[in-house]
Structure 1
């Protein structure tokens, strides 16, 4: 994620990262939701999967 950059700069980064990307398999047991209100990231919620 890029904040505070022009759209063309963000698209350039996506293109560079996509060029070397190879998909992989992962096993996930849950998702953590974080928020940032002007300070460091803060854990808001943990959501179990399944």
Structure 2
């Protein structure tokens, strides 16, 4: 669990995959109040590079 911050261009093409009918996530944004409200984008994952 943790906060993921990304750029708009990294996810905008996949946002429709998690939008519910009537939602305008790209226009209105999205805020999950708890873990149950979070939405996963199928096929996406977070990776961390350590050097």
TM > 0.5: no
TM interval, shorter chain, is under 0.3
TM-score (norm 2): 0.21
**Relative contact order (C-alpha < 8 Å, sep 6+): which is higher?**
2
Structure of higher CA gyration radius = 1
TM-score (norm 1): 0.21
